[in-house]
Each structure stands twice: as C-alpha cells, then as structure tokens.
Amino acid sequence: MDHFLYRDGQLYAEDVPVAEIAAKVSTPVYIYSTATLTRHFRLFDEALDGLPHVVCYAMKAASNQAILKTLAQLGAGMDVVSGGEYARAKAAGVPGDRIVFSGVGKTRAEMRAALEGGIRQFNVESEPEMQALSEVASEMGVIAPIAVRVNPDVDAKTHAKIATGKSENKFGIPISRASEVYAMAAALPGLEVVGIDVHIGSQLTDLEPYRLAFTKVGELVDRLRAEGHDIRRLDLGGGLGIPYTRGNEAPPLPKEYGNLVKEVLGDKGCEIEIEPGRLVAGNAGILVSEVIYLKQGEGRDFLILDAAMNDLIRPAMYEAHHDIVPVVEPAPGAEQAPYDVVGPVCESGDTFAKQRNLTALRPGDLVAFRSAGAYGAVMSSEYNTRPLVPEVLVKDDHFAVIRERPSFEEIINRDTLPEWL
C-alpha cells in the first residue's frame, strides 16, 4: 500500500496534487510520502512485537536527511555501509547505540570515526577486517562490539546483482568456517563478540530462502554458545521485496516475515536486529517526469521523457520494472498502445521500458514511475551534466523541497582548473 492515489482525475501524493508539485519544482522530481514511510516502518516494528528487537533502516535505499529524521523520530535505528552514511545518520539525530555498520570494505578511518561517535556494532565480514578493527580499537583504548557476517550459501532466488548469500558472493565468511573465525575474534584484544549477522539478498519474494538461512543461523547459535561465545544478538539483514508490478502476486508481508523469525529463532533468547530498506522506502516514493517528444521509429514508437538513466538507473542496471502511470487519470477503457519509454541521455541503455502499453500521451503530459523511493535518488548522478533530481517530502496537505536541483553554475564551479590552464 502507498499514498499515491487518483482523486478527481488527478494523481495525488497524500493530499497534494502531484501536478502542483511538478509545476512549482519542475521535472524530473522525486516525491516521497511521510504516511507511507511511517506505515511501512511500523509494519516491521509490529511484526517483531513480543521479541526484543531493533529495526535498523538500511539507509542505502534512500538517505535524505528528511527521510532519516522521519524514521528516527519513530524509533528507527540505522544500518550504514560507509563513513558518509554514518555521518548522515548522526546528523539526523540517530544515537550511536542505534547504528549498525555493515559492508565489506570499511577503512580504518571509518572504523575510527564510528568508535569515536558511538556504534551499536560492526558487522565484520573477513579476518583482515577483524584484525584491522581490533588494532584501531586498541590504539584508541576502546573495545569494538562485533557480529560476524556469515554466508549461509542460500540461494535467495533474486536478481544476480542483488544476491548476497551464495558461496560465490563477496559477502561474509563461509558458515562452515564460523567456529574458526569466531575463535579468532574472541582472541583479538580490541573486539567483543556480541552476535551473528546474516543477509542473503534483496527483493526476496519468497520466505523459504529466509527459513533455510535462519535455520542455519539457529544451529550456529547453539554451536558457538557451546564453544563459549556470548551470542546475544542476531542481525538478520533485510531484503524483503516489494510489488513493483501492480496486480501481480504480492511478496510476503512483514507480519509473515516476523512470524517466521519467531518460529525459527524465537527460542534463542537473542535480541533481533533487522535492516529493511526497500520495503520501507520503495513504495514511499515516485519519480515524476514530463513527456518531451513522441517519436515514430521503425516498427515502434518512442516516448521520450525528461528523466533519464542518470536519474533512475535501476532499469538500465537491473532490468528493473517500474509501473509508469499518467498523472492525469485515464478514462475508463481508454485505448492503450505500446511504447518504448526512453530518456534523453546518449546511451542505448537509457531505456525505462520496451513496448510498454500506455494510454495516449502528448508532449507536456506528466508521468510517474511508481515504487521509485528506494535506490532511485541515492543512485542518481550528473552524467551528461544533468543536475541531480530534486527531492520533495509530502506530509498531509503540504510539501517541502528536501533537496534542491543544483544550477549548471553550481555543477561547473565544483571543477578546479590547474594553474597551467
């Protein structure tokens, strides 16, 4: 469910007409719904009711300060994967003891910054990382809390580029080597083992891979405790999918996910940490674009928009589907025709959809890409010197620009000429 609905023939974001935002801010523009962000976070929080837990929003999905602040005020922790994300989380008012630091390539500088600013735990992914973190913590005279990310060799049955739990993926240590790696961690002077971390991928639409992975984690809890480790936290990652295509079978609900966690791991006496990102932010955002041209090609028609792959790269990178809907509601039974929906960037990959059936559109009409709140704005770039898309947050009947569109002058002035030029 989201809060982008037609009303009186117009697409609304909560109680604000989308066309009104586009007229004021211009297009392309990302628009987020506070009500949807709030609802989806609470669904996860309520799904784990009865277990000690922390919901750490995976802020790589969408990291604007206004979004982080909205979630922080609801009690969210944050899952960060870089020093920059850590700084963003702190700037949004998230205390260090609610921030989990994940990622395979943490630098010593990032480790030091997190230890200085406060951290709930580091999810470490290799022996060299553990050694480096222990050295940094010892130099600072502190102890770094860690969970070791284990790779359970479970096929998440998702896109190859967002699968993370198979043996050939770069993430974590093989679960078969967990005893050896945990023994090493326990022997390092700057570390305190507090738990286990697992994350098998993104956009999962079936609970069975979770069941397989969580069952292996439960068995590992028993083995590590028998070996003398104090396992008191289980970080189960995120990855639950969202329905990108309306009308198709919906992925599992957070409540169903929560029931599975309770069934498989509820008797372990551990605090549960989860890191949802896509399901919190995905359907909470749309990308609005204007039609520039209709172009007749050889055997196909092209709908050319002012949004491009640098604004929303998921279709080009992942062959991802986003429903594309007109901002003015089509009449019931309106005739449709197939279009290739493309942007103006000089790449054949700048294609959002091929032979997508849409109602008739004209230059100047507005369209919205649904489910664009996650991995949209955060993955955008200024390729072709196209300014970053502005972001807008809606709450009830009012809205605010939460990231301005930079001018060409601002973009160009970031360059610095060497003295010989």
Residue 147: CB atoms within 10 A of its CB come to 25
- Please provide the CATH number assigned to the domain covering 34-279: 3.20.20.10
Active site residue 346: yes
Pair 32, 391: CB distance under 8 Å = yes
Calpha distance 195→235 (Å, rounded): 7
pLDDT averaged per 10 residues, the chain (length 421): 93 98 98 98 96 97 98 97 98 97 96 98 96 98 97 65 44 89 97 95 86 94 97 94 74 93 97 96 97 92 97 95 96 93 95 96 97 97 97 98 98 97 95
Sequence-ordered list of residues with C-beta below 8 angstroms from that of 100, at least 6 positions apart, any chain: 56, 77, 78, 79, 80, 119, 120, 121, 122, 123, 235, 273, 275
Calpha distance 419→421 (Å, rounded): 5
Which pLDDT does position 157 carry in this prediction? 53
Which of 84, 43, 42, 88 minimizes the C-alpha distance to 67? Answer: 88
**pTM summary value:** 0.93
Which pLDDT does position 243 carry in this prediction? 81
Calpha distance 241→201 (Å, rounded): 10
**Structural fold of domain 4-31+282-412:** Lyase, Ornithine Decarboxylase; Chain A, domain 1 (2.40.37)
Which pLDDT does position 297 carry in this prediction? 84
Whether 34-279 and 4-31+282-412 are alike in CATH topology: the answer is no
Tokens 């801010």, residue? 25
Which pLDDT does position 138 carry in this prediction? 98
Q: Out of 226, 331, 346, 417, which one is annotated catalytic?
A: 346
DSSP state of 240: B
Calpha distance 145→137 (Å, rounded): 10
Pair 11, 226: CB distance under 8 Å = no
* Domain edges within the chain: 4-31+282-412, 34-279
